[in-house]
Structure 1
Amino acid sequence: MAYVAAAAVLLGLLVVTNLILTVGVVRRLREHTAELAALRGGGSGGLDVDVAMPAGTPVGGFDATSVADLPVSLATLGERPLVGFFSPNCQPCKEKLPSFVEYAATRPQGRDAVLAVTIGTREETAALAELLGPVATVVVESDQGPVQRAFGVSGFPAFVLVEEGVVSASGFDLAPVVDRDAVALPAAG
């Protein structure tokens, strides 16, 4: 009888320990889910997340080659380029790509003032390049390539508006960048 009582107490302690650990894991998963949802929604959810250089930062120099084998640098893009960074395996990139393409098609400066940087090999990014090609100069580069480094990109998608070599708006969400561009367009025209 003593063995049964000891086994019951031991089993009870194991169940309580398991319950405590399970509650801790569930709480941590909820925190992670909330953080991911905030990031996917374009908000920072209280997190200090910059996916590119903040406004007011000068853009670093870079030299790249477009998929059309043309040289690309900040100087070749004009005074007010819009730049988007996309990864083919990024779900938020796929969600925000149509809005970027739609907006880029309406910019008065045309496709020469829009740069789309796709991250990966030409084969991996072929579908992205096909969608972006009609509205932007497309550059394919590996992760942390020269264009990414010049704009301080650390996440995808990233959108950057540059005015005279300085970042005027940037972020994970296209809307604030578009808003800044719309304000600056009358002044530039």
Structure 2
Amino acid sequence: MSYLIAVVALLCALCLVLLLVTLGLVRRIREHTKLLDALYEQVDLMGPLQAGAGPAVGDVVAEFAATTVDGAPVTRDLLADGTVVAFLSPDCAGCHEQLPELASWAAEQDRGRVLAVVDGRSGDPESLVATLRPVAQVVVDDAAAPVGSAFGVRSYPTFFQVATGGRLLAVAPRISRLPAGSAA
């Protein structure tokens, strides 16, 4: 009987040690996640400033013509002053992570001033389209990718704020980093 108690006590002690190790690992992973997030923020801040790293504030978007999933035409000249343009891809984990924040923010905006461009060349865009269609104009950029090419998009997600005539007011990797998107 004392042998059985010793084995149970040993197993309990081992479980306790393993629990403490697991909690320590979880804490360490959270610390590393915060550090990586801070690093990504620094890279995002530096990215548009580097030559050739993509469009920058003050650039003018090239002319384009596309049609929304609702059949409305979209061109550079039809974008209202202050329009936010979000580029998303079905295969992008960051896009899916930011989707609830974008949809919540867009629901509080004028639908005509929010354009979501979903990459139709990869994955299944239907979930992104279904989520954003009620709150934004949605374009599925197909193989020709006229909108993505006009904006010079190099990564997903990317968010732009555009002035009349297609001049870029802001470029950001998150909706919350745009001046218009800070109150989600």
Task: Output one character per residue of 1:92-134: Cα deviation in whole Å (capped at 9) or x when no partner.
Answer: 0111111111111112xx1111100000259810111000001
Alpha-carbon distance between aligned partners in 2 of 1:106 and 1:138, rounded to the nearest angstrom = 16
Q: Quote the offset at 1:169 in angstroms.
A: 0.6
Q: Is the 8 A contact 1:52 1:170 kept in 2?
A: no
Taking structure 2 as the reference length, the TM-score comes to: 0.68
In the other structure, the counterpart of 2:180 is 181
SS at match of 1:159: strand
Alpha-carbon distance between aligned partners in 1 of 2:38 and 2:146, rounded to the nearest angstrom = 25
Structure 1 runs, 4 residues or longer, greater than 3 Å off:
37-43, 45-52
Q: Quote the offset at 1:176 in angstroms.
A: 2.1
Please, which runs of 5 or more residues in structure 1 have no aligned partner? 1-32, 184-189
Task: Output one character per residue of 1:115-160: Cα deviation in whole Å (capped at 9) or x when no partner.
Answer: 0000025981011100000111100013671101111100000000
The number of aligned residues is 146
Q: Residue type of the partner of 1:103?
A: W
Alpha-carbon distance between aligned partners in 1 of 2:127 and 2:181, rounded to the nearest angstrom = 29
Over aligned residue pairs, what C-alpha RMSD do you find? 3.1
Q: Residue type of the partner of 2:47?
A: D
Change (3 A) 1:151 1:173: same
In the other structure, the counterpart of 1:149 is 149
Alpha-carbon distance between aligned partners in 2 of 1:91 and 1:122, rounded to the nearest angstrom = 13
Alpha-carbon distance between aligned partners in 1 of 2:150 and 2:59, rounded to the nearest angstrom = 11
Q: Quote the offset at 1:77 in angstroms.
A: 2.6
Q: Residue type of the partner of 1:79?
A: D
Please, which runs of 5 or more residues in structure 2 have no aligned partner? 1-31
In the other structure, the counterpart of 1:171 is 172
Change (3 A) 1:89 1:69: same
In the other structure, the counterpart of 2:120 is 120
SS at match of 2:100: helix
Q: Residue type of the partner of 1:44?
A: V
SS at match of 2:43: coil
In the other structure, the counterpart of 2:77 is 75
Q: Is the 8 A contact 2:118 2:128 kept in 1?
A: yes
Change (3 A) 1:46 1:84: closer
Q: Is the 8 A contact 1:38 1:45 kept in 2?
A: no
Q: Residue type of the partner of 2:173?
A: F
SS at match of 1:60: coil
In the other structure, the counterpart of 2:43 is 44
In the other structure, the counterpart of 2:107 is 105
Change (3 A) 1:152 1:106: same
